[in-house]
Structure 1
């Protein structure tokens, strides 16, 4: 069945907990989301979503994504909707780079395929292991006591895994970690994420000062070479996030014995199809795996969580419940969040009930 029409919608998603701050003083007030609707000739519909964290986090920004989607969409009308790999190759041929703009289209095609065959995304991408995925909650940068208080709030809400945002002054970041560690139960899993803001000297200083503490270090330096340089002095698990922008980056990291785990973000790598390939290679090498995205609400959460649910249970690190980060919704879904984990909605595809009327008028429409 071929693609009959594609529509784009925009949704502003304010953060529930106010301004989100990360390294370098960068901040955002919410996600500027683009939602893609793809309708096949038989009337089956699929939805995808892409929402960058401002224009500073990844090589992506909302208006750029929408411009690229407008470029791609008319050229996909009439293509077989079930040929997801082929459509990915066609998008790469028609538009060099810009994987973030292709992610929501790819996601909508998976949703459409699942709805047509009556299977969930987790089933289609390998088969669900269990019925829930572990969650973490991110602590945006603030004063140590404020971050400790926020950590206690999240623990009280049931989260057992926390991501401490670091990457500013090293001495202050040491204080941030110490405050959060002291304020939370000993079994709380702590990740320290610098978002690539440090050099090798800062990273070594942080590692030396926190050697007695239990945490996992995530993306301390921006470049591959810097992270490789500190690997031999890093005596705790090292996770790469921003560096993992495709399968080639993972293969290089494996060859250099650089990583203990990776974070895969759908928009960064180009969607579910390419994320699945990276996931499968990482799993074959027994790496710890996080699958999430740069932002969004129910649609995006259902997509990356579905792929996470079909990841071998023993290799899952955690994911994030973005639908609880924001004050608006874009689908009806039963995400069962409790005791630090999240169950996924039942149903084919992404398992969601999406009402496009709630988004208002589309910002772009193309059809056969």
Structure 2
């Protein structure tokens, strides 16, 4: 089995609910996705997607993914997509660093390999641990009363898990979280996510003033050591997200006892293959785990669902349905969502049926070998 044709597309995916706001005036109006299709000599096609959240969230941007994909793609012609480790080493050899550029290509190889085997991707990722994963909703940064109303709406819609964006002015964020907590039932699971927006001084101010509120603290500061300094005086669980970029980061977090849980982002780590490696190690080391990505529609959400549902239930935190965030539809048979839970589509590979006519004209189309 050899890759004979590679196509790549760039697609803007506007948000259904308007701008996505974080602290410090960081906001995005859409995901800017790069989608790739790898076709093999047997006629099967595998799909991959990556979409950064603006240019402020991670060291990734769509224009870079577009240019990088065009650089790497010719080297993959003639490669066996089922040899995932070999493909990964090849990409790392011809294109140093920039894991986000390689993410959609690796995802497409994983999809193609599972389709060739005639099994859903979840089977190749360790097997399905449950039928569905519990979803969470994000309460974006804004006025306290607006955030409280949004949180109450989510709970009214049947969601029991919410992520509250903090990381701005400490006093204002204390008021925001207090308002949200007062607006939802006590059993609601609340994550306070600062997106690395605070100094340790600010994070400790916030933690001290909110001790009476039950929540999980997520990525309060930029570095592992800064988050650890906050954790030492914290009486709540801590999850790290932006700090997990490499395997060495994961091991450093474990060695220092810097967190109870990890959020693994597919594009940040370089694809499904490397995310699976870190996910399995994180589980073995006793972390709670969330597997998601920086953004995307049906293709990326399907990959997140397969990785989530192959994570042991007792170690899985929650999942997110990004394809419901955007106004575009890129595939049929998308990841099924029922209430506050998400499953995986029926069928081999990712299980989705991509609709190429909705992707526009490819910016890259090459064939050979």
Same fold? TM cut 0.5 = yes
SS in 2 for 1:233: coil
The residue number in structure 2 matching 1:51 is 51
Unaligned runs of 5+ in 2: none
Alpha carbons 2:224, 2:258 under 8 Å: kept: no
The residue number in structure 2 matching 1:85 is 85
SS in 2 for 1:18: coil
Alpha carbons 1:158, 1:338 under 8 Å: kept: no
Say yes or no: does 1:15 pair with 2:15.
Answer: yes
Cα deviation, residue 158, structure 1: 2.1
SS in 1 for 2:4: strand
Cα deviation, residue 230, structure 1: 1.6
**Distance in 2 separating the partners of 1:280 and 1:344:** 20
SS in 1 for 2:354: coil
Unaligned runs of 5+ in 1: none
Cα deviation, residue 359, structure 1: 1.3
The residue number in structure 2 matching 1:134 is 134
The residue number in structure 1 matching 2:242 is 242
**Distance in 2 separating the partners of 1:49 and 1:157:** 29
**Distance in 2 separating the partners of 1:188 and 1:227:** 25
- Write the deviation string for residues 108-154 of structure 1: whole angstroms up to 9, x where unpaired: 01111111111111111000011001111111100010011111222
- Write the deviation string for residues 171-228 of structure 1: whole angstroms up to 9, x where unpaired: 1101111111111122111000000010011011111101111000000000122112
Cα deviation, residue 334, structure 1: 4.4
Q: What does 1:20-169 align with in structure 2 at a 5 Å threshold?
A: 20-169=20-169
Alpha carbons 1:33, 1:50 under 8 Å: kept: yes
Alpha carbons 2:302, 2:334 under 8 Å: kept: no
Cα deviation, residue 339, structure 1: 3.6
**Distance in 1 separating the partners of 2:198 and 2:289:** 23
SS in 1 for 2:342: strand
TM-score by length of 2: 0.98
Runs of 4 or more consecutive aligned structure 1 residues displaced over 6 Å after TM superposition: none
Alpha carbons 2:81, 2:110 under 8 Å: kept: no
- Write the deviation string for residues 231-254 of structure 1: whole angstroms up to 9, x where unpaired: 210111010000000111000111
**Distance in 1 separating the partners of 2:160 and 2:346:** 25
Number of equivalent positions: 368
TM-score by length of 1: 0.98
Structure-2 change in CA distance of 1:126 and 1:193 (3 Å)? same
SS in 2 for 1:186: coil
SS in 1 for 2:291: strand
